[in-house]
Structure 1
C-alpha cells in the first residue's frame, strides 16, 4: 500500500500531455453538480 501511494505521488507530479488537441466547443450534458465549481458531464467525442 505504501508503494502504491508513493508511486501515485511521484506520477501525479508530472503533467499529462495529449498527443492531439480537439477543437471546441463540445456539446455535453450535465449529469450532476457536485459543488459550486465542480460538475460531472457526459460528452460524446471522437477523433478522426
Structure 2
C-alpha cells in the first residue's frame, strides 16, 4: 500500500500565522497580570531543571 504524504503538524507549528502569534487578552483578565515570555518563565523556574 503506498504511503500518502501528509503535512506534519510540526511543520505548520513551525510557521504560525501572525494572528496565531498574538496572546489572548484572556491571560491578563484571568491572572490579573500581563503574560510572561518563555524566557521570563524559564528564568523563574530554572532551579528544578538544574
Instruction: State the TM-score, normalizing by the size of structure 2.
Output: 0.24
Asked which structure has the greater RCO (Cα within 8 Å, sep 6+), the reply is: 1
Q: Which has the larger radius of gyration?
A: 2
**Higher strand fraction (1 or 2):** 1
More helix by share: 2
